[in-house]
Chain A
Amino acid sequence: MAATADWNGVIARRRDEIIQGWLNFLRAEGALQTGRIKDAELQSECGRVLALVAPDLAHAGDRSPASDELSQTLSALSRSRALQGFTPSETANFVLGLKPALFGAVAAEYAGQGDLIAAATLDATRKLDRLALITIEAYQRSREEVIIRQQREISELSTPVVKLWDGILALPLIGTLDSERTQVVMENLLQSIVDTSAEIAIIDITGVPTVDTLVAQHLLKTVAAARLMGADCVVSGIRPQIAQTMVHLGVELNVVSKASLADALALALQRIGKRVTDVPQALAAPDYSR
């Protein structure tokens, strides 16, 4: 069997030198520039990871007994990097930055044994690349978690159901409607209909930038569900361009629709037997501004 590098030995003997090399690389890459992380913090992270990398490198196979702890540590590290606002490259560079320092140490340790250095370098490259991928994946995952949480928050925030009159509700929709958000919107509206015993719900889409086939379908489903519960829906605020696009796309929206929220409210009041009229000047409320 060919001689292999004694990684545990190399790292134990040249630990300070490797960490210094690693830190220099990271500093040169600008890891500290933004001030999001301190030098001492970086130094302790390097030390902690190096201690776990050593047994992993020394292990002949792909997964050493230290692999799990190592990937957990790196994942936790990337998660905090993601939350602190580091870029994916900066996050991956943390692990990759260990390479030059390690290679330097091996070259110094085994000077003159070219084959051994080449084999060790190749092996370390493979393992460190895999670790870099782990950090990227963890980074990506935590970004996705953030996005999902924000989506949920946005959809909750952006779907208020307001009562305009006894028996009349309005749902002013703002922003793009996707399937998930529409489901939340739909459930909110229908529950509010029950809670307030509303007879008519006005869905105002003035703030919706585009209405495609899918959105139209969602709207129709909401209207159909409200009807099943015994309430009518009126759609208001379809902008001219949207109306035109919908006709061109062949999207049919077979619902009662009104140009503005005001028109829809007038219709709703009429349906529940109310009317808005002008008050004669003499009976009008006094002008308090004087």
Chain B
Amino acid sequence: MDRIPILKMGDALLITIQVDMHDRLALALEEDLTAKIAATRAKGVLIDISSLEIVDSFIGRMLDNIAAVSRMLDADTVVVGMRPAVAITLVELGLSLTGVKTALNVERGMLLIQKRLRGLGDFSGRRS
């Protein structure tokens, strides 16, 4: 079965989702990522969804789960690059992903993670 690659960049892990994921692939990603965070002691997880044309409640839940699990493993999750149409639809669907941090692009997401690592500003306080 296909797997979504997880790249390590310094203290962070980078996942770029480029395919229209079927549900098993999403579940596999959740598992792989948990194992990888534990193995690498990563402090941050960047999930780039700029290629995704939709995020339904299943993918939304996956993002929420990843954020919750990584929080427990002392890593922060930043979802980056959500498209406007996807964001509007997600809000209409009733999902606001309050547990997930967001950034416009990978660069900004990386800055967020680095800020927190350097102890600059309370990362978790950025979003209420």
Contact = CB atoms under 8 A, between A and B. Distances in A.
- Touch between chains A and B, by CB atoms below 8 Å: yes
Interface of A: 186-187, 190-191, 193-194, 197-199, 221, 224-231
Contacts of B92: 221
Given A186-B88, A194-B84, A230 B103 contact: yes
Among B83, B84, B97, B102, the most chain A Cβ lie within 10 Å of the Cβ of B84
B54 to A, nearest CB: 13
Given A193-B104, A231-B104, A187 B80 contact: no
A224 to B, nearest CB: 5
B26 interface: no
A226 B104 contact: no
A116 B49 CA distance: 80
B105 to A, nearest CB: 7
B105 A225 contact: no
A225 B104 contact: no
Among A187, A198, A199, A230, the most chain B Cβ lie within 10 Å of the Cβ of A230
Interface residues on B, range: 20 to 34
A160 to B, nearest CB: 17
Interface string B44-88: 000000000000000000000000000000000001111111111
B96 A224 contact: yes
Contacts of A225: 84, 87-88, 90-91
B124 to A, nearest CB: 15
Contacts of A186: 88
Contacts of B90: 225, 228
A148 to B, nearest CB: 23
